[in-house]
């Protein structure tokens, strides 16, 4: 990924005091920060449309098992990796471009007692610091939108997967009806947004050697979910614990735009399972 784009993406997501901000918000919400549960972290933990429900649906479609060694690409503050470890007992390594996210992910994972199953590395998805054929499952949710060199991304995913391994994707894709309204949760401007259409993604996966086994368009469910999120923010303001802690005050505008992008068909959502 070009250096400038990498830096812009890090700036978009990075926040120096993120660990303190999250712990303070958890305390404010009444949590014992030395003994946290995944339920207490849920409002901030899974930074993608439809949160944990979407993660569990993808895990089911991918046939996740406790014996799987999973690589979570774009692991953020670790919500998905913790959920997979807890629900399925699998061993998960998360990798993310943003240093603060990796640090916060490790801290929260320790506080929920899952550090025996989950670890994190800072790194670039288009240049993965792993051996060939290392993982049973490569997993990614809402990450490819920030990556320009899609061919490299899917080639790298293919490389680190074992033969017969599974690629599980849940991503925002280009919709049929025109350009995205910015800012959105993954980008404040078009400079760091690289959406492909479902057809283009199919071609990319095929070109990297994958066989698509399951493809589900979940745009309608996403639309319904987002309408409720925007309405709740409008009615009650931000909760003590929520994605605005990651994205700052302009999350309100991002959420409104995301709702409109979904309503207008400017973006679509895909849940895709492929095999190596």
Structure letter (DSSP) for residue 237 = -
* Nearest residue to 207 via CA among 252, 157, 242: 157
The model carries a pTM of 0.94
Contact 161, 133 (CB under 8 A): yes
Mean pLDDT, each 10-residue run in order, the chain (276 residues):
74 80 91 92 88 96 98 97 98 95 96 97 97 98 96 98 98 95 94 96 98 97 88 85 85 90 96 98
What is the rounded CA–CA span in Å between residue 90 and residue 68? Answer: 5
Residue 14's pLDDT is what? Answer: 67
Residue 91's pLDDT is what? Answer: 98
Structure tokens at 252: 């309100």
Q: Hey, what domains does the chain have and what are their CATH numbers?
A: 3-275 (3.40.50.150)
Residue whose entry in the numeric block shows the structure tokens 């998960």: 92
Contact 261, 173 (CB under 8 A): no
Residue 46's pLDDT is what? Answer: 83
* Nearest residue to 275 via CA among 58, 89, 64, 62: 62
Q: How many CB atoms lie within 10 A of CB 99?
A: 12
């Amino acid at each position: 990924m070009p250096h400038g784009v990498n830096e812009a993406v890090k700036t978009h997501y990075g926040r120096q005091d993120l660990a303190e901000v999250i712990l303070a918000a958890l305390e404010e919400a009444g949590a014992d920060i030395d003994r946290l549960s995944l339920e207490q972290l849920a409002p901030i933990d899974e930074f993608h449309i439809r949160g944990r429900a979407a993660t569990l649906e993808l895990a089911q479609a991918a046939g996740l098992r406790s014996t799987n060694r999973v690589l979570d690409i774009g692991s953020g503050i670790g919500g998905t990796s913790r959920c997979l470890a807890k629900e399925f007992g699998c061993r998960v390594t998360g990798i993310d471009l943003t240093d603060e996210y990796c640090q916060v992910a490790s801290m929260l994972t320790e506080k929920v007692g899952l550090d025996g199953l989950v670890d994190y590395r800072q790194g670039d998805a288009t240049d993965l610091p792993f051996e060939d054929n290392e993982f049973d499952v490569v997993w990614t949710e809402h990450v490819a939108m920030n990556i320009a060199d899609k061919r490299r991304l899917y080639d790298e995913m293919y490389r680190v997967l074992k033969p017969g391994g599974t690629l599980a994707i849940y991503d925002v894709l280009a919709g049929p009806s025109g350009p995205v309204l910015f800012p959105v949760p993954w980008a404040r401007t078009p400079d760091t947004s690289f959406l492909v259409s479902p057809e283009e993604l199919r071609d990319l996966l095929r070109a990297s050697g994958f066989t698509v086994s399951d493809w589900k368009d979940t745009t309608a469910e996403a639309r319904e979910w987002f309408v409720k999120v925007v309405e709740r923010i409008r009615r009650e303001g931000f909760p003590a614990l929520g994605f605005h802690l990651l994205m700052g005050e302009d999350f309100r505008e991002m959420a409104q735009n995301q709702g409109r992008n979904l309503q207008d068909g400017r973006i679509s959502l895909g849940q895709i399972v492929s095999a190596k």
